Each structure stands twice: as structure tokens, then as C-alpha cells.
Amino acid sequence: MPIDSNSNPVKTEAKSSVKPVKAKRPERLKKRRLSKSDINVVNQPMLKRALGGTVVGNTMEWYDVGVYGYLVATMGAVFLSDAADNVQVLFSFGVFAVTFVARPLGGVVFGYLGDKIGRQKVLATTLIMMAASTFAIGLLPGYATIGWWAPVLLVLMKLIQGFSTGGEYAGATTFVSEYAPDKRRGFFASFLDMGSYLGFAIGAAMVSVMQLTLGASTMQEWGWRIPFLIAGPLGAIAIYFRLKIEESPQFQATLDAQESSSKEAQANDEVAAKGPLGIVMAYWRQMIVAILLVAAANTAGYALTSYMPTYLTESKGYDPVHGTLLTLPVLVIMAICIPLTGRLSDRIGRRPVLWIGAGSTILFAFPAFMLIGIGEIWSTLAGLALIAFPVTFYVANLASALPALFPTPSRYGGMGIAYNFAVAIFGGTTPFIIQGLMELLHTDMTPAYYLIATSIIGAVAIFFLRESAGRPLPGSMPSVDTEQEAIELVAGQDDNPNLDLNEMPFDETYEPATPPEGIPTVRA
């Protein structure tokens, strides 16, 4: 044994050899990466068919709004003939508002069904109900024939219209947004509102032509029925086109991935399974933003379409025919421009375009009604154009901005609740509220005050709106126009600011744990 300098033995340890052992690496989540198979390449013929099938329904909806809006004085005289003229007008506007009272219930019911059984089936149902109730109005007897039953039946038909319409716009915007490629969603979705205002213009033009050819007495006697009865064959054509479209690819992908282990997908499905209350509780912030935006946009929109003919007639001395005709060219030009502002939102973003809508409403409201107050045709057209300008920037973007607030499993339901509650409170009641305020305040500038107030509220909502232009819808994979675009998107996914892989419904896959590589041994 070795001895040190102090003669003490030194204890030595045997030299040992230990084979290092790798610790077992635990399972871990693989990094999320897009592959080409994850990306939806839009089927262009199917997109066009889907767009056409939804636009015809939206056109049908607003055709009825146009017809009724331009027959307000006549409908009051037919269904409440014993009342004073101002009471008849308020009654007609009240019946118009009743339609929107039923919309929230329709939005809740059809929104829930649309998220459960599919968008296409529900949209076909809403269109059938809408066309049938509009046609039935044309068959109703008047007050002179059945007394108080006449206004009761009219209200009933308008309630059915409102119930079905509650699922129409929310479903149509959801459907087209899910079909459209991410980079052109604003453009394609804006065609829905182009169809809306064209439908309104068609209904208004038909009423105007009949008023010119038949005269007021004939219109009140039986002519008012014709525009409503025409809704029957028009509705049948629209239903045919709608039945030809297929389910949206984003919703179909959600059905196919219901067994997915993705935490985000499971959470979204759980929210949708709780129904309307679960959607409101989970997405109440998005709901508030949507409601305020719809309030601002639809107040301006319904002021232009449904209230202005009466305003021009009752306050500015125009006869009913000219009150109708003066708004028609403005509506047609506005409808043509709506896809242009939709395309603009794809380039510069939804929020900037909506800012233009809110800001121009606030700036132009007073000048618009001052021009209308001059009483000349040129000044009236100029005033109407100043009202139409912000509406063009508002409505062209709601169809693409609002669906992007909600994930796919709850999108129809979220849209149905938010949009229809807002329209019921602010949109459809606009003519009634403004007319009532006019009677109370006795100033022709009342509509301007109301538009400014609602657009200030809308501007606050835009501040909290999340930009969605060019980005995949929440809970959905990216959607592109071509195979080449899909390849480029995969290659550049790390540097693309419009892609957030953490928000996409990937299947959760894990790297396996590393197996042990043996038992440690010690050799002396």
C-alpha cells in the first residue's frame, strides 16, 4: 500500500469505468408546421356557384325591404285605413320594425343549427320561409275587408320574414367568408351587400314604375300586391340556385376533424356544444365589437334606403314617386362601388376602410341634410350621395370583418346573435326612431344628429377590432387561390406576419419518448 511522507497509508480507490446512460427524454409536442396538405386551395367553379347562390338570397331579402319601404304610405292606408295619415305612417314603420324584432330569435335558432348541421341546409330553409312569407303578404285582405285582422296578419307575416331573415345574412356572410381565399375575402364577401342594395333598388324601381303607370288610387286598391306576389317565382329561382351549392370547405374540415386532439379545436367545439349562451359567454368581447359596428353601419344604411323616401315626401314636399326615384340612381351607383371598397379592404385592411366609413358619416351628415334642405333636385341628389358614401365603406366590409371575429364551430351562431340583435335595436328601428324624434324635436336636422351619434359609437368599436385582412379565419387553415400560392405559403410560413400557427387547428402530435439504452454498469 502506498505510504505518504508521514508514513500514513494512503487509501486508493479502484479505478472504475461507468458507462454513461442517457436519461429518458419525455414526450414533447412537435413544433407546428404547415404542409401543403394543410392548405385549402379554393375550387374556383364551386366558389362562383356558392357566391351566386348566396347573393340571390340576399337580393331577395332586400327586394322585400325595398318594396315595403317604398310602399309605406300605401300599406298604412290599406291595413289601417281608419287612422290619421301620420298614424298610418308610424304604423307602417312600426310593422317594418317588427320584422327586426323577430330577427334575433331567428339568428339564435338558425345560427345554432348552422353550426350543427351545416350552413347550406339552413340557408336553403331561410330562403324558402322568406320567399313564402313575402308572397303571402300579397294575398292578404285589407282593413276594409276584415278589420283588425288585416294588420294582425300583416304583422304575423312580417314576423315570419324577420325570423327567417335572422338566419339569412349571418349565414350568407359566414358561408362566403369560409369559401373565399384569405387574400380576396373582402372582395368576394362584399358582393353580398352589392346584391342587397341592388335588390332594394329593384324593389324600389318596380314600385316606382307601378306608381307612375297605375296611379295612387289603383295602387291602393290592388296594385300594391303585385311586387309581393312576384316574390314567389323570384324566390323559386333563388331556392333552385341555393340548393345547388355545396357545404363550405371550412365547415366540412371542422366536421372531418372532430376527432382531432388539438386543444384549440376541442375548446372551440366545447363552446359550440353549449349553444348560444356558451357562445355569448366565450366571445362577449367580440359580440360587443360586432354589435356596435353593425349599429353604426345599419343606422346609416337604413336611413338611406328605408327612411329617405318618406323624409323627402313628408318633410321636403316631394311627391311619393319623386321621393322614390331620386334615391334609385344613388343606390345603383353605391351598389356598383361596394365590391371596389371590398377589394380596397383586402389591400389596406378592414380597419382603415371602416374608419373611412365612420369618419365620413360624422363629417358629411350635416352637409348632406343641409343640401337636401335646399329642395332642388341637384342638391337632393348631392345630399343623398353624401349619405351613400360612408355606407359604401361600412357595409362592404362587415361581411368579411364580422365572421372573422369567431372560430369556425361557433361562427354562424356568433354572427346570428351579434348581427341580428344589433339590427333589431338600431337598424330596422332607424326609420321609426328618426320619425318619432322628428315629431318630438321639430327639426329637419334630426337624422343628422342620429347618424353622427351612432357613428361615434362605431368608431370606438373599430378601435378594438382585430385586423383580419389576408389572414386565415379563426379556427381554420389558410385558404388560397392556387396550388402555387400554397407552395409559396408553406415555404415562407416563418416570415409571414399574417400566419399565426398557434391559432390553427393542427392535430396534436408528439415526439416519442427516447427508450433507455441499457442499465448502468460499474467495472472495477
Lowest-confidence range among 57-71, 139-153, 333-347, 441-455? 57-71
Please list, in sequence order, all residues whose beta carbon lies within 8 angstroms of the beta carbon of residue 181, skipping any fewer than 6 positions away.
42, 479, 480, 481
Q: Are 382 and 371 in contact (CB under 8 A)?
A: yes
25, three cell numbers: 427524454
Q: How far apart, in whole angstroms, are the C-alpha atoms of residue 453 and residue 518?
A: 76
DSSP 474: T
Q: How far apart, in whole angstroms, are the C-alpha atoms of residue 183 and residue 476?
A: 14
Dihedrals phi, psi of 163, to nearest 5 degrees = -60, -45
**Residue 380 vs residue 250, higher pLDDT:** 380
Domain map (residue ranges) of the chain: 42-248+274-503
Q: Are 195 and 168 in contact (CB under 8 A)?
A: no
CATH class given for the domain over 42-248+274-503: mainly alpha
- b/e 236-270 (16+ beta carbons within 10 angstroms → b): eebbebbeebebbbbbebbeebeebebebbeebbe
Identify the pLDDT of residue 508. Answer: 56
Identify the pLDDT of residue 461. Answer: 94
39, three cell numbers: 392548405
Most confident among 110-114, 213-217, 257-261 (mean pLDDT): 110-114
pLDDT of 13 strictly over 50:
no
pLDDT of 361 strictly over 90:
yes
Q: How far apart, in whole angstroms, are the C-alpha atoms of residue 118 and residue 103?
A: 20
Q: Are 87 and 388 in contact (CB under 8 A)?
A: no
Identify the pLDDT of residue 394. Answer: 92
Lowest-confidence range among 20-34, 327-341, 390-404, 418-432? 20-34
87's torsion region: left (phi>0), alpha (psi -120 to 50) or beta?
alpha
**Residue 87 vs residue 471, higher pLDDT:** 471
**Residue 200 vs residue 261, higher pLDDT:** 200
Q: How far apart, in whole angstroms, are the C-alpha atoms of residue 175 and residue 111?
A: 12
Q: Which helix (H) or strand (E) holds 522?
A: strand 522-523
Q: How far apart, in whole angstroms, are the C-alpha atoms of residue 343 and residue 480?
A: 16
Please list, in sequence order, all residues whose beta carbon lies within 8 angstroms of the beta carbon of residue 122, skipping any fewer than 6 positions away.
110, 113, 114, 167, 171, 412
pLDDT band at 255 (very low <50, low <70, confident <90, very high): low
Lowest-confidence range among 111-115, 233-237, 317-321, 414-418? 317-321
Q: Are 63 and 234 in contact (CB under 8 A)?
A: yes
Lowest-confidence range among 122-136, 220-234, 301-315? 301-315
Coil, strand or helix at 511: strand
pLDDT of 389 strictly over 70:
yes
Q: Are 225 and 139 in contact (CB under 8 A)?
A: yes
Amino acid at 423: V
Q: How far apart, in whole angstroms, are the C-alpha atoms of residue 450 and residue 290?
A: 19
Amino acid at 244: K
Whole-number average pLDDT of the chain: 82
479-480 and 40-41 beta bridge pairing: parallel
291, three cell numbers: 354589435
- The CA-based dihedral angle spanning residues 268, 273, 278, 280, taken in that order and rounded to the nearest 10 degrees: 70
Coil, strand or helix at 18: strand
Identify the pLDDT of residue 272. Answer: 60
Mean pLDDT, range 316-322, rounded to an integer: 72
Identify the pLDDT of residue 59. Answer: 86
Q: Are 98 and 155 in contact (CB under 8 A)?
A: yes
The C-alpha cell 380596397 sits at 344
